[in-house]
Amino acid sequence: MAARRFSQAISEGDGISVLVEVNDGESARAAERDGAEALVVRTNAEAIRAASELPILWRSSAGIAEAASAGADAYLVVVEDLHEEDDRLERLHAEALDLGLDCVVEVRDEEELEIALERLDPEIFLLSGREDDGESPLARALELLPDVPAGKLAVADVPVSGREQVDELERAGVDAVIVGAGSVAELVGDAPPQV
């Protein structure tokens, strides 16, 4: 079976998709068995690709070409790190798309979201809540969600401790949430999909 593209994995079907951050083949296999719909990796992408057919979001500082050669399906571009560097934000976004990867654009506040929309108009947003203003990361991500245009995909990168928080994100219209390895089965809710 060929790997599905990342955007397809989080947009198809009913409900919110659970994406699992993994660091080795064993945790990738466990995440797939427990119902994850995609994997998030920072290292060992080749071993993880060998262990699972789930789509992979590359969340590493290594380059886009390395992500593509390691079998990733999507690449993360962080607005906060890049928006002040001439046209680097646009170049990385274009390079990811040119290599056939989905490009996920991380934003942490309204200003970064506006920059992303004006300069890139991406299809997939990663909403990361900050704790520096007294609000919970979950509340911050939910505040950003209404500013994501209809038709775009929204992934929440916030700590979740139980199914009720996943349900809250789903009711708000979030397409996917990133969780840590080990808590997948209790967070996916219904029975894992057949893979």
Q: Write out pLDDT tens, residues 168-188.
A: 999 999 999 999 877 687 787
144 vs 182, more confident: 144
Q: pLDDT digit string (tens) for 19-54?
A: 999 999 999 999 999 999 999 999 888 899 999 999
Domain boundaries, the chain: 6-186
The CATH fold assigned to 6-186 is TIM Barrel (3.20.20)
Instruction: Mark out the alpha helices in 145-190 (DSSP H runs).
Output: 163-172, 184-188
Residue 173 pLDDT = 95
Residue 194 confidence (pLDDT): 39
Query: Residues with Cβ < 8 Å from 103, sequence gap 6 or more?
Result: 74, 75, 77, 92, 93, 96, 97, 120, 122, 123, 124
- The whole-model pTM stands at 0.90
Contact status, residue 175 vs residue 18, Cβ threshold 8 Å: no
